[in-house]
Amino acid sequence: MKRIDGGICSVAGVRAAGARAGKYGVALIAASGAAAAVFTTNKVRAAPLDVTGEHLQATAGHLEGIIANSGCANAFTGQRGHDDARMMARLLAGFLGVEEKQIAMASTGVIGRYLDMDLIARLSEEAGSRLRSAPDASAEAARAIMTTDTRIKEIAVEHNGLHVAGIVKGAGMIEPNVATMLCFLFTDADLPAHALQDCLKDAVKESFNMLTVDGDMSTNDTVLLTATGRAKGKVEDLRAALLFVCVELARMMAKDGEGASKCFETVVTGAMNEKDARLAAKAVAKSSLVKTAVYGADPNWGRIVCALGYSGAEVDPDSITLGLEGSGLDVTLVQKGKIVEGVLDSAQRIMKGDAIIIRIDLGLGTAGARSFGCDLTHEYVNINANYTT
């Protein structure tokens, strides 16, 4: 897996642009090809998700472009929200000279407000005139859809002749089954929509769905994959590259979690089955007490054990082995249920680092999983107590 520069514009056939005005931003991406999508499972689902879903169904998974805005989620907006979402599609379809149903759309921002369509039209016009295939165009599109994100998040890789790249937006409301994150992925692989959907589903499962910032699941999460078909390649190579890209984007999101000062990963092994491994890894990443302990560099591992106990996974306290890795150190705190004495100083040194791995062997089977989390800080409270309605 070779990292390359250029963001999504490193994939042949992808053009991008973005424009901002205050809290509002609009990103346009033109890329023609087979497409796949994964959406939030929240029952309150924003209008653009419904409309994008309809479009993908109508075209059997083919897209010509994506239009996305920040500033307003267009969620819980009823019929008017649907009309506005369709209008967004028409804006980009007009620029590209394609059909409305060949456009996907996405929104992020405050829930329960109507879109400012005049502003979106103006920003789309501005961005549309700049659509181009250039490294700074990828960054510009990524920047246009940032909300509480503090930095743009993009990646591109080359793997056995295939290219896969993505931009992602998301820093809060990040939890099970994708959360206000908008992620736009591109590849030059010449593969049909159903193969893309299969690879995308698996990649999301091991990456974004194992990411927790605050346990809140958004109404707007959207992951879109478009394949421009310019390169011949194997499904397995796409699968591997896509997983790599999604995991790296998930890590970037954990690092840029709202108010986060550091991130941590929880690696679970020895679970009875995959479901248990995922439950255990997620419960630790999600625990407010673990997250504040990471912030305070406090090796209070009892909180980790406690989270395992209520995770829903099968656990036996006497079988648990627990350790920490980071800052060049690796300590075992609990060995098959027995407290290891004299290691708290080393544990604290690891906890003071900014990249911590919590290692858990449940000792019951052979299944494993990895979750991505970040600390819970004063700044998280600042951001979310003062986020204006």
φ/ψ of 179, rounded to 5, equals -155, 170
- Report in angstroms how near the CB of residue 204 gets to its own copies at its nearest: 16
DSSP letter for each residue of 140-173: HHHHHT-SS-SS-EEEEEEETTEEEEEEEE-SSS
Nearer to its own copies, 308 or 358 (CB): 308
**Contact footprint for its own copies (CB under 8 A):** 41-45, 73, 75-78, 110-113, 172-173, 175-176, 214-219, 286-289, 292-293, 295-296, 298-303, 305-310, 314-318, 334, 337-339, 344, 376-378, 380-382, 384-389
First and final C-alpha spacing in the chain: 42
DSSP 8-state code for residue 286: H
Nearer to its own copies, 2 or 114 (CB): 114
User: How many angstroms separate the CA atoms of 26 and 18, rounded?
Assistant: 6
Nearer to its own copies, 82 or 122 (CB): 82
Q: What angle do helix axes 274-286 and 302-310 make, rounded to 10 degrees?
A: 130
Nearer to its own copies, 187 or 321 (CB): 321
Nearest Cα residue to 28 out of 87, 85, 86, 68: 68
**Catalytic: 321?**
no
User: How many angstroms separate the CA atoms of 67 and 100, rounded?
Assistant: 11
Catalytic annotation, pick one of 108, 180, 187, 269:
180
Residues in the chain: 389
CA 133 to chain centre: 24
Nearer to its own copies, 327 or 348 (CB): 348
Query: Strand, helix or coil at 62?
Result: strand
- Report in angstroms how near the CB of residue 169 gets to its own copies at its nearest: 17
Distances (CA, A) of 267 to 99, 270, 330, 358, 373: 46, 10, 14, 6, 11
Q: Name the one residue in this structure whose structure tokens are 């379809």.
A: 93
- Edge-first strand order for the sheet with 338-339 is 211-212, 367-374, 263-271, 355-361, 321-326, 329-335, 338-339
- Report in angstroms how near the CB of residue 360 gets to its own copies at its nearest: 12
Q: Are 360 and 267 in contact (CB under 8 A)?
A: yes
Q: Which two tokens stand for residue 70?
A: 């920040």
User: How many angstroms separate the CA atoms of 108 and 71, rounded?
Assistant: 6
- Report in angstroms how near the CB of residue 248 gets to its own copies at its nearest: 25
**Does the CA dihedral 142-143-148-152 come out positive or negative?**
positive
Nearer to its own copies, 244 or 380 (CB): 380
User: How many angstroms separate the CA atoms of 305 and 268, rounded?
Assistant: 12
- Report in angstroms how near the CB of residue 79 gets to its own copies at its nearest: 10
Q: Which two tokens stand for residue 64?
A: 């010509």
Nearer to its own copies, 216 or 274 (CB): 216
Which residues form the catalytic set? 180
